Amino acid sequence: MVEELFIKLSLIIVIAVGVSAVMKLLKQPLIIGYIFTGIIVGPLFFNLIGTENEIMSTFAKVGVALLLFTVGLHLNPKIIKEVGKVSLITGIGQVIFTSVIGFLIAISLGFSTTASIYIAVALTFSSTIIITKFLTDKGDINSVYGKISIGFLIIQDIIAVFVLMFISSVTTGDGGISNILITFFKGIIVTLIFFGLSALFIPTITKRVAKSQEFLFLFSIAWCLALASLYHYLNFSLEIGALFAGVALSISPYSSEISSKLKPLRDFFIVMFFIIIGSQMIIGDISQNIVPIIIFSLFILLGNPLIVMILMGVLGYTKRNSFMAGLTVAQISEFSIILVTLGLSVGHLNQDILSLVTMVGLITIAGSTYMINYSNKIYFLISDYLGIFEKKGAIEKKKKIEKYGAILFGYNRIGFGILNSFKRIKKNYLVVDFNPNTISDLTKVGIPCLYGDAYDTELLEELQLDKTPLVISTIPDFETNILLIETIRAKNPKAIIIVRSSQIKDAFEFYKKGASYVLTPHFLGGEYLAKMVNNIKTSEKGYKEEKNKHIKMLKERMKKGHEHPEFEKN
């Protein structure tokens, strides 16, 4: 029995590796490979799970618990204040509009009210894990749209917490809405008491536990599984217990370390969850629901981005920022599948709804992957038609462009220092930025600024770049900087053009296109330190002077609200 299970598990993992390798070649997230693996090893083909389904399902439960635990580790209660107004409004607005429209579509397609509610809510959630990886790989994690996207994805996760908790409360009721609500609020009270106690004791406990890395790892697993089991004992789901276990530890200074240590273990067990989901997909259910699958997939791929674009347009963001952020919600997430699985376990749904939502997940994750990877090319093709999503008049209208001695594209942590140098050399300068909040702040302190997108060719035509001797771009986007260099060089061969790059190969490309200098922030710190050590050597006085200058600069930046990028380590 044990040997047979070992051999079958080995075969499943080997098949998963092969299928995942194909997904990597197709530049698709591995989650799609895991689900396809489940289809292959399920009853439709090799039937490797068979009698061992209960054991595999246990593995899957552990995987879901660890996944939700690590999600909870990043849901610090302070996060709502940090994500900003635009993320809060866009996140809540997208969930409301998507769920309402999704419900109406499901009802019109003949689904029951209960099934329609589950489908509608499942359609609202996008994958924070997948999108964070995409944004990191593209180098857009700290862009305006990247920060907004991460913000409203976190808002979605917080909403998902309450949805999962509500569904968990249904498992204890006898069907009456009053009993369900009573159980739900009891759960909230128990959770608040639990979080209060955690806030008092968790920091002290984790501080002592963290003295041993192995013990911290073991403690984290024990905490996750123990809390999941406790909530199950209290007649809630294991999933919500694991999620709250993560949230409770999110206040610990070691939450990021715990998350990184658990990631390999989580990834192994979550593979089994998606393989089980794939094995449960019934081809008959898929063929029977092919029309709803296509309609829901198109709604997610096209409708969700439209909703976000409209909301961000109303808030005053450029069409490009709105478009890029919109693409990040063009798929459903692992939360969606977990939600429907939970609905299936409490008897609210049939297997065909799980097959439908899983298939929509496969289509939308695959589709959105290519949309995000080729977002700049897609935007270039359709940008002329996106003007309706850009609110006119909300931001200061483009004023008459005059001749400037220097133009800075992108006011951020790097741009802050460059602006000070403009002031010192007494250059007549202009700041161009596509974040309306940044423009508003600069206007208040009297800094000449213009709201616009450097990727907008119309804006570049209006700026007198042929008469500007110095142009600096701190924008991290490769295509934008290429466009800037080419446009300026065509009009002003003698201009000094400085652009930013985080990749060495991109820096060489910028030089090839005509950049005067390429700023590489990741390498400059080491270069500066090397020169400082070379000049000061071991002079205590010299380091004290550098220290005082650094402290002064840090205090000035702190007043401006600058912090180290939160997601850069990813």
Alpha carbon distances (Å) from 422 to 416, 427, 471: 10, 5, 11
The 3-class secondary structure across 59-102, one letter per residue, is HHHHHHHHHHHHHHHCCCCCHHHHHHHHHHHHHHHHHHHHHHHH
pLDDT at site 569: 35
57-94 in b/e form (b: 16+ CB < 10 A) is: eebbbbbbbbbbbbbbbbbbeebbeebeebbbbbbbbb
Displacement of CA 194 from its chain's centroid (Å): 28
Instruction: For residues 258-274, give the mean pLDDT.
Output: 85
Mean pLDDT on 446-473: 83
Banded model confidence at residue 113, pLDDT cuts 50, 70, 90: very high
Please determine, for residue 222, whether its predicted confidence score (pLDDT) is greater than 50: yes
Pick the CATH number of 2-385 from 1.20.1530.20, 3.40.718.10, 3.90.1150.10, 2.60.40.10: 1.20.1530.20
Q: How far apart are CA 489 and CA 482, in angstroms?
A: 11
Report, as an integer, the average pLDDT of 180-189: 66
Q: Over the stretch 396-438, which tens digit does the pLDDT of each residue have?
A: 444 455 678 889 998 876 777 787 777 776 678 888 887 777 8
Per mean pLDDT, which range of 232-236, 489-493, 494-498 is the poorest?
232-236
Segment 10-29 shows an average pLDDT of 89
How confident is the model over 303-324, as a mean pLDDT? 88
pLDDT at 60 over 80: yes
pLDDT at 484 over 70: yes
Residues ≥6 apart with Cβ < 8 Å to 317: 86, 144, 148, 325, 390, 434, 435, 436
Q: What is the mean pLDDT of residues 514-532?
A: 78
Confidence at 566, pLDDT banded by 50, 70, 90: very low
Predicted local confidence at residue 252, as pLDDT = 79
pLDDT at 562: 52
pLDDT value at 341 more than 90: no
Whether residue 321 is predicted with pLDDT greater than 90 in this model: the reply is: no
The predicted structure's pLDDT at residue 43: 78
Length of the chain in residues, anyone? 570
From 194, 185, 180, select the one nearest 244 (Cα to Cα).
194
Is the pLDDT higher at 216 or at 182? Answer: 216
When pLDDT is averaged across residues 518-527 and rounded to a whole number, the result is 75
How do the domains of the chain map onto residue ranges? 2-385, 406-519
Calculate the alpha carbon distances from 469 to 27, 438, 498, 515, 551 in Å: 42, 25, 11, 13, 33
Contact status, residue 335 vs residue 75, Cβ threshold 8 Å: no
Residue 176 has pLDDT above 60, yes or no: no
Residue carrying structure tokens 């695959």:
366
pLDDT bucket at 568, cuts 50 / 70 / 90: very low
Residue range 406-519 forms a domain whose CATH class is alpha beta
Confidence of residue 94 (pLDDT cuts 50, 70, 90): very high
The residue-averaged pLDDT of 534-554 equals 79
Q: Is the pLDDT of residue 370 over 60?
A: yes
Please check the confidence at residue 565 and state whether its pLDDT lies above 50: no
Poorest-pLDDT segment among 37-41, 70-74, 278-282: 278-282
Task: Give the DSSP letter of residue 518.
Answer: E
* Res 15 pLDDT > 90: yes
For the chain, give the percent of residues with pLDDT over 70: 86
Encoded amino acid at 304, one letter: N
User: Which of 360, 339, 367 is CA-nearest to residue 285?
Assistant: 360
Report the alpha-carbon distance of residue 4 to residue 9 in Å, rounded: 9
| Residue entry with tokens 């409301």 | 96
The predicted structure's pLDDT at residue 173:
46
pLDDT the model gives residue 104: 96
On average, the pLDDT of the chain sits at: 81
Question: Which tokens sit at 311?
Answer: 């909301």
- What are 146-162's pLDDT values in tens digits? 878 888 888 888 888 77
